Amino acid sequence: MSGSTYGNIFKITTWGESHGKGLGAVIDGCPAGISLTEEDIQLDMDRRKPGSNKYGTKRQEGDKVQIMSGVFQGKTTGTPISLVIFNNDQRSKDYSSISQVYRPGHADYGFETKYGFRDYRGGGRSSGRETAARVAAGAVAKKLLSELGISITAYTISIGNVKAEKYDLSQCSENPLYMPDNDAAQRAAKLLDETIKNQDSSGGIIECKVTGMPVGIGEPVFDKLDSSLAKAVMSIGAVKGIEFGDGFKAAQSSGSYNNDNFYMSEGKIKKHTNHSGGILGGFSDGGDIVFRAAFKPTPSISQPQQTVTNYGEDTEITITGRHDPVIVPRAVVVVEAMTAVTLADLILINMSSKIDGIKKFYIQQ
Amino acid sequence: MSGSTYGNIFKITTWGESHGKGLGAVIDGCPAGISLTEEDIQLDMDRRKPGSNKYGTKRQEGDKVQIMSGVFQGKTTGTPISLVIFNNDQRSKDYSSISQVYRPGHADYGFETKYGFRDYRGGGRSSGRETAARVAAGAVAKKLLSELGISITAYTISIGNVKAEKYDLSQCSENPLYMPDNDAAQRAAKLLDETIKNQDSSGGIIECKVTGMPVGIGEPVFDKLDSSLAKAVMSIGAVKGIEFGDGFKAAQSSGSYNNDNFYMSEGKIKKHTNHSGGILGGFSDGGDIVFRAAFKPTPSISQPQQTVTNYGEDTEITITGRHDPVIVPRAVVVVEAMTAVTLADLILINMSSKIDGIKKFYIQQ
Amino acid sequence: MSGSTYGNIFKITTWGESHGKGLGAVIDGCPAGISLTEEDIQLDMDRRKPGSNKYGTKRQEGDKVQIMSGVFQGKTTGTPISLVIFNNDQRSKDYSSISQVYRPGHADYGFETKYGFRDYRGGGRSSGRETAARVAAGAVAKKLLSELGISITAYTISIGNVKAEKYDLSQCSENPLYMPDNDAAQRAAKLLDETIKNQDSSGGIIECKVTGMPVGIGEPVFDKLDSSLAKAVMSIGAVKGIEFGDGFKAAQSSGSYNNDNFYMSEGKIKKHTNHSGGILGGFSDGGDIVFRAAFKPTPSISQPQQTVTNYGEDTEITITGRHDPVIVPRAVVVVEAMTAVTLADLILINMSSKIDGIKKFYIQQ
Amino acid sequence: MSGSTYGNIFKITTWGESHGKGLGAVIDGCPAGISLTEEDIQLDMDRRKPGSNKYGTKRQEGDKVQIMSGVFQGKTTGTPISLVIFNNDQRSKDYSSISQVYRPGHADYGFETKYGFRDYRGGGRSSGRETAARVAAGAVAKKLLSELGISITAYTISIGNVKAEKYDLSQCSENPLYMPDNDAAQRAAKLLDETIKNQDSSGGIIECKVTGMPVGIGEPVFDKLDSSLAKAVMSIGAVKGIEFGDGFKAAQSSGSYNNDNFYMSEGKIKKHTNHSGGILGGFSDGGDIVFRAAFKPTPSISQPQQTVTNYGEDTEITITGRHDPVIVPRAVVVVEAMTAVTLADLILINMSSKIDGIKKFYIQQ
């Protein structure tokens, strides 16, 4: 149980290291009959792909996804969908400088203590490259959600201390940082230029919005909609916090302000406000789901750092090679992917909640 | 799969509503040979118990826990430990005012949409009372952790806009709000008096610290130590956000600041700082685990609120009865419980990480 | 993970020992809206109850089941249903003769090796009494299945070398051995009288038939309908084998004989024969599900037996007390229960198999 | 949840169809530090490979396995091991004759009812080819078990009505049918020649023996050692029954005969007999584990058969192409594989059974 399987009904299993033969995901429990092509998935792979701008690492990963199983005549068959992405940029490199040294801010020390040794080439399983498999699986989940009218959009709302001041989602695709505010994106770009010059790195915050959710999705105790999303998003490397709706601000608020009042509008239940971020008591409440995830600065920086070896001596390390000065813009699609996978799972789980729905299902059949 | 089971090896299943016969937890997978008495558990139950001060609801729950199985001659047997807490304060009450109305900020609307109807007495399964079973299970997990020298301490660091300014954990037990700063606790008490007068409620923030963790606990991808804790803690009703170490501040930080340098000290690997909150790449890194959870204000307030009925009409609701003006002090022990259950599980999972440990285990036997 | 939880969506967790305070089951994931009373469950409890005839142990267990949660106004609420059966016949007894001795044919040796010590009173968790909780949970699963027109009937087809020669299910309730052949039951009764006189015990075979199953239930690879039922039924203590349809006879058969041909009848697909036992490729195939489970003779016999102590010495043991000379008649309802729980789970899992069904479900809502 | 993941700690996920790009298995939770090469796995793949004799299908599958991840410097790293077998014999074939017809004895009808349509090329996911991935995963599990001195040997004990009369395991590799009796193998070969001439097929029985098991493996209630093995082995297509130790014969036995007496021998606990098949109360009891699985005759036969179309008309089908007249010899290694995977999982689960072992593990570290 190295924890590479996620989900209960819509269940994904990922595998692969940054410097092995490739990476992949197996999706078990995807319903049959959904249209799916490699191009559908490639769209999201390309959004994650590095090298599209100077703030992403220069490594040319390619990231061409192949569907190995589970699709017949352009539709999912209900059986496992195996997705493979071959690694094609494995230049032979000298890792001797880091093979016995624990990089600060990295998983190296924990990894080696846990397993007795580690694949020191590029972070192995703890590399950011691991998220490629998540994005591939997420693209399939999005196809399922789109059949139900649900859509997910994530975007960068801050990089370092530069924050988006407007939320015009149409601008996200107009700047390389996926910010909903082109002006802020320009300021953030300047900050990143400075960061690169300083051989340093920056953190940032991603916000994610989900529209079209049915009401009542999520389970009432441990598998709440928000607790499930929290696990999914916090499992992305570098995420150090998550908040829903008003989040940490709600802790300073009052009930009379924080409660969203319900009202009827054209026969439907609506809310005047959305302090809850679309989730009440662990269930979707009809409002848009809104959450934010905080990413720490990339730990791989070129400055010399003090650290230790795996044989117990103090040492200094200077990390060379290609590294993102900020991971946030590339992580936008990863946040969407983990959100999609989680929602797909909870939506399928919800189908067995009441006997009426079950009877209808089986009588129809 | 209403999501009432949590954990993989150390696995808890909770049941019960606020106004049924009782609540309980079944712990499956607790190792044999741990000393356990009802008193061990009752200590934590009493910390959660309402009515100990005016900021907790006056309802006299009693909360006497009984061990129904899994303990023989004062020790756990390895088989399921069933814990039951009978509800003994079920005064017959008139729920007609809320039985057909969706309370703002509550799970009512989601619950009824999901299941077709709901147990409207006191929130049913979505009541805060549900956490009593978590606390009972958590007390057992703490016993396991204490055998390994691991201890967990949670405390209130803010209520509304009143924040603790010092962190003297010895003061937590000296004020009814579990704050590590008696002066701040006094200011918070004043705030709460005001809140009660306004028929309103307050939120707050709980911090949790874990000491004594072995290195390498947590799994590298989906079941990271932090993602697992995030799910556990976010599943407590009213939690709207969680952050580890520097958390959201890390998003504004730089890598050169945020990375914790390693150094050797008396043959052991140490860190100069703990921006990571004791977790790197999803593994415990030898530092104390530190996280904070944001609680929203209690949604049950006595002010009249606008809302709708379950038959689709606008209405006004005034919630009467006993409700906490702030849930935070009573939730401190719930945060500890969910942390304990999660750590116990990940610590047991970690035992199968390397073949050397497995061979030693079976050769010893 | 002591393996006390079973199922994925319809998930049961059992707890309790033969000589503790009681036993119970928590059912998580039972759909809301199913009528359920304690009487519904008690009917099956009474079928399992010992002491109703001389071939069952004389112990008066009572076995009154209580619903502790998950039912409101006579209907399941979708939240966990906790069922408790208090032990009320715990006469203080001297267990010193067996506390340090491993009974042949029992779990004692394995239990003590695994856990370091054991609750030696009456078998603890490995007692046949453990099945009371299964029966209670199974009764709830049957209520769900009956809403879909599915019914389960198990019966004794052999005891020792006495076999039923006709299968008149109406006769099952007419003899204390649940045989579909009153004449065979009389012969079996004579055999058991002889068995008791010899201080010995007998085995037997139970057959189970399920009617009304929808087609396509079961998952194609590991969670086949038959592999899932095999696990469920083999987990009942004393079961040493299971076979579906022609079972072991099919191993001597030919494809041309064993294949069940399909044909159309009044617009429906039918099979001329049912060698498959209603399951093909792991899916229900429209025929009745038919399987048989072999039970070994009760290991507790009054004859002196050679064995060893837990401190490594040879010894002789004479087991006293109340024990069934044959477990089979009381196990009939246990086989039904495990079948019901398994079918309920697979039927709920099947609901997410195709996107058409999912879209209909959510559009209807 | 199409049920393609199996196991809790040592967890395998398989994917792939007979006529897609390939098949594979992902093993999550394999401990780090085990030597593993592609050759280790290929040895078992070759035992399953068809075409090695005239009783296996002539299809040249190749079945070259590739390790895609999880191994570094010749050792497992603790992260997922992805194994891929590319399909390289996908001759374009005309499936129009079976695409709309439900083959008797096959999964076609259930598959199409469940998923709405099916990949009709060669059985898709329900093809025997699916077992290639199981064998690959099983080879890894065997490597783990061999580190603990546990070995698994399966062999054919009957084909049709020809039974092995002696059990000389050294003879298994001397005949193409894996029988421990060369004379019986010759008689079985004659039977199969006859079977082929008749355009028919035969069933058979495989026995499996496990030596070197530690005592106490298996969990006491649902996850018993035998119930877990039953699920694993019954999930292999064509298996219709399984029995442990004396199995169905035990149902006709008496307790005084069936109980295996314990005795001390050189300080160790032994049993005079092994009627239990090495499992008591769901735990390994120190004896060899012995079970038998009954395989039905291959359903694909060349004789014309009556059946129906998926548009509801009676029809006749004549199945052409390459099919095994008996599946049993090729299934021997599949039975070993599913046994290995199950034992590996239960052995890792067992490590958390008692606090003493846990304390030793963490104090050593």
* Among the listed residues A10, A291, D47, A264, the one whose alpha carbon sits nearest the alpha carbon of residue B234: A291
CA atoms within 13 A on the CB side of C142: 24
Query: At A79, is the pLDDT very low, low, confident or very high (cuts 50, 70, 90)?
Result: very high
What lies within 8 Å, CB to CB, of C58 at 6+ separation is: C50, C51, C322
Beta strands, E only, C98-161: 151-159
Looking at the complex, report in whole angstroms how far the Cα of residue D31 sits from the nearest Cα belonging to chain B.
4
Look at B2 and C29 and tell me if their CB atoms are within 8 Å.
Answer: yes
- C342's enclosing H/E stretch is helix C328-349
Count of Cβ atoms closer than 10 Å to residue A169 Cβ: 11
Q: How far apart are CA D215 and CA D340, in angstroms?
A: 16
Helices and strands (H and E) in chain A: how many:
9, 18
What lies within 8 Å, CB to CB, of B153 at 6+ separation is: B169, B172, B208, B209, B210, B211, B336
Q: A286-345 pLDDT, tens per residue? A: 999 999 999 999 999 999 999 999 999 999 999 887 778 999 999 999 999 999 999 999
**Chain D positions in Cβ-Cβ contact with residue B29 (cut-off 8 Å):** 352
Q: D159-193 pLDDT, tens per residue? A: 999 999 999 999 999 999 999 999 999 999 999 99
Q: What is the pLDDT of residue B73?
A: 93
The 8-class DSSP code of residue D28 comes to E
**Chain C positions in Cβ-Cβ contact with residue B33 (cut-off 8 Å):** 115-117
Per-residue model confidence as pLDDT tens for chain D (365 residues): 789 999 999 999 999 998 889 999 999 999 999 999 999 999 999 998 765 566 665 555 578 999 999 999 999 999 999 999 998 765 556 777 788 999 999 999 999 999 999 888 877 788 889 999 999 999 999 999 999 999 999 999 999 999 999 999 999 999 999 999 999 999 999 999 999 999 999 999 999 999 999 999 999 999 999 999 999 999 999 999 999 999 999 999 999 999 999 999 999 999 999 999 999 999 999 999 999 999 999 999 999 999 999 999 999 999 887 788 999 999 999 999 999 999 999 999 999 999 999 998 898 54
**Chain A positions in Cβ-Cβ contact with residue C34 (cut-off 8 Å):** 355
- From the list C116, C231, C307, the residue facing D231 with the nearest CB is C231
Which subunits sit against B, judged by 3+ Cβ pairs under 8 A?
A, C, D
Tell me the count of A-B CB pairs closer than 8 A. 402
Look at C32 and A214 and tell me if their CB atoms are within 8 Å.
Answer: no
8 Å CB contact between B296 and B326: no
**Chain C positions in Cβ-Cβ contact with residue A346 (cut-off 8 Å):** none
Tell me the count of B-D CB pairs closer than 8 A. 91
Task: Reduce the DSSP state of residue B45 to 3 states and report it.
Answer: helix
The 8-class DSSP code of residue D238 comes to T
* Among the listed residues C111, C103, C114, the one whose alpha carbon sits nearest the alpha carbon of residue C308: C103
Q: D84-103 pLDDT, tens per residue? A: 999 876 555 677 778 899 99
Helix/strand/coil (H, E, C) string of B63-88?
CCEEECCCEECCEECCCCEEEEEECC
**Chain A positions in Cβ-Cβ contact with residue D29 (cut-off 8 Å):** 1-2
Look at D80 and A32 and tell me if their CB atoms are within 8 Å.
Answer: no
Looking at the complex, report in whole angstroms how far the Cα of residue B6 sits from the nearest Cα belonging to chain C.
11
8 Å CB contact between A254 and B295: no
Q: What is the pLDDT of residue C56?
A: 61
- From the list A8, A31, A214, the residue facing C365 with the nearest CB is A214
- From the list C1, C4, C78, the residue facing B9 with the nearest CB is C1
Give the burial class of C232: count Cβ atoms within 10 A of its Cβ; 0-12 exposed, 13-18 middle, 19 or more buried.
buried
* Range 129-148 of B in CB contact (< 8 A) with D: 144, 147-148
Look at B17 and C124 and tell me if their CB atoms are within 8 Å.
Answer: no
Structure token digits, residue A241: 């916090």
Query: At B365, is the pLDDT very low, low, confident or very high (cuts 50, 70, 90)?
Result: very low
| Residue A52 pLDDT exceeds 60 | no
Which residue's entry shows tokens 């193409």? Answer: D176
* Among the listed residues D1, D5, D2, D4, the one whose alpha carbon sits nearest the alpha carbon of residue D345: D5
Give the burial class of D220: count Cβ atoms within 10 A of its Cβ; 0-12 exposed, 13-18 middle, 19 or more buried.
buried
8 Å CB contact between A165 and A179: no
8 Å CB contact between C236 and C154: no
* Among the listed residues A273, A154, A251, A259, the one whose alpha carbon sits nearest the alpha carbon of residue A208: A154
| Residue B52 pLDDT exceeds 60 | no
Looking at the complex, report in whole angstroms how far the Cα of residue A200 sits from the nearest Cα belonging to chain D.
30
Which residue's entry shows tokens 């999982």? Answer: D345
Q: How far apart are CA D133 and CA D154, in angstroms?
A: 18
- D149's enclosing H/E stretch is none
Structure token digits, residue B101: 């109305």
**Chain D positions in Cβ-Cβ contact with residue B361 (cut-off 8 Å):** 351, 357, 360-361
Distance of CA B25 to the CA centre of its chain: 14
Residue D219 forms contact with B (CB below 8 Å): no
Which subunits sit against A, judged by 3+ Cβ pairs under 8 A?
B, C, D
Looking at the complex, report in whole angstroms how far the Cα of residue B73 sits from the nearest Cα belonging to chain A.
32
Q: How far apart are CA C354 and CA A31, in angstroms?
A: 4
Average pLDDT, chain A: 93
Look at A105 and B254 and tell me if their CB atoms are within 8 Å.
Answer: no
The 8-class DSSP code of residue A287 comes to S
Distance of CA D86 to the CA centre of its chain: 21
Beta strands, E only, chain D: 5-6, 11-16, 22-28, 65-67, 71-72, 75-76, 81-86, 151-159, 162-163, 204-211, 239-244, 262-265, 268-271, 279-280, 283-284, 289-295, 305-308, 314-317
Phi and psi at B130, nearest 5°, equal: -55, -25
CA atoms within 13 A on the CB side of A59: 19
Q: How far apart are CA C264 and CA C271, in angstroms?
A: 9
Mutate to test the interface with C, among D259, D302, D309 (most CBs of C within 10 A): D259
Q: Please state, in angstroms and as integers, the Cα–Cα distance from residue B87 to each residue in B84, B131, C228, following that order.
A: 10, 13, 38
Looking at the complex, report in whole angstroms how far the Cα of residue C125 sits from the nearest Cα belonging to chain B.
7
Beta bridge partners of D315: D307
One DSSP character per residue, A311-362 reads TS-EEEE---S---S--HHHHHHHHHHHHHHHHHHHHHHHTTSBHHHHHHHH
Give pLDDT < 50 ranges for chain C. Answer: 365
Look at C124 and B79 and tell me if their CB atoms are within 8 Å.
Answer: yes
Look at C352 and A351 and tell me if their CB atoms are within 8 Å.
Answer: yes
Residue B163 forms contact with A (CB below 8 Å): no
Chain C CA closest to residue B68:
C21
- From the list C33, C147, C361, the residue facing A351 with the nearest CB is C361
ipTM: 0.96
Count of Cβ atoms closer than 10 Å to residue D315 Cβ: 17
Q: How far apart are CA A191 and CA A186, in angstroms?
A: 9
* Range 24-83 of D in CB contact (< 8 A) with C: none
Look at C75 and B117 and tell me if their CB atoms are within 8 Å.
Answer: yes
8 Å CB contact between D246 and D258: yes
**Chain C positions in Cβ-Cβ contact with residue B4 (cut-off 8 Å):** 26, 28, 79-80
Q: How far apart are CA A110 and CA A305, in angstroms?
A: 18
Beta bridge partners of D23: D16, D85
* Range 318-347 of A in CB contact (< 8 A) with B: none
Beta bridge partners of C245: none
Structure token digits, residue B218: 């947590």
Look at B355 and D31 and tell me if their CB atoms are within 8 Å.
Answer: yes
Structure token digits, residue D109: 């009808």
One DSSP character per residue, C147-210 reads HTT-EEEEEEEEETTEE-SS--GGGGGGSTT--S-HHHHHHHHHHHHHHHHTT--B-EEEEEEE
8 Å CB contact between C28 and C80: yes
Q: Please state, in angstroms and as integers, the Cα–Cα distance from residue C178 to each residue in C53, C153, C160, C205, C207, following that order.
A: 12, 11, 14, 11, 11
Q: What is the pLDDT of residue C54?
A: 64
Which subunits sit against C, judged by 3+ Cβ pairs under 8 A?
A, B, D
- The pTM score is 0.97
Look at D357 and B361 and tell me if their CB atoms are within 8 Å.
Answer: yes
- From the list D78, D348, D354, the residue facing B33 with the nearest CB is D354
pLDDT-above-90 percentage for chain A: 84
Helix intervals (H) in chain B: 38-48, 96-99, 108-115, 131-147, 182-197, 225-234, 255-258, 328-349, 355-364
**Chain C positions in Cβ-Cβ contact with residue D109 (cut-off 8 Å):** 215, 262, 269, 280, 283, 285-286
Q: Please state, in angstroms and as integers, the Cα–Cα distance from residue A357 to each residue in A353, C73, C363, following that order.
A: 8, 20, 11
Q: What is the CA radius of gyration of chain D?
A: 22
* Among the listed residues B110, B126, B129, B146, the one whose alpha carbon sits nearest the alpha carbon of residue B50: B129
The one-letter code for the residue type at B228 is S
Look at B226 and A242 and tell me if their CB atoms are within 8 Å.
Answer: no
Looking at the complex, report in whole angstroms how far the Cα of residue B254 sits from the nearest Cα belonging to chain A.
5
**Chain A positions in Cβ-Cβ contact with residue D33 (cut-off 8 Å):** 115-117
Degrees, nearest 5: CA angle D306-D308-D311: 160
Helices and strands (H and E) in chain B: how many:
9, 18
8 Å CB contact between B66 and B282: no
- From the list A353, A355, A364, the residue facing C360 with the nearest CB is A364
Q: D264-283 b/e with 16+ CB inside 10 Å = b?
A: eeeeebebeebbbbbbbbbb
- From the list D22, D82, D121, the residue facing A16 with the nearest CB is D82
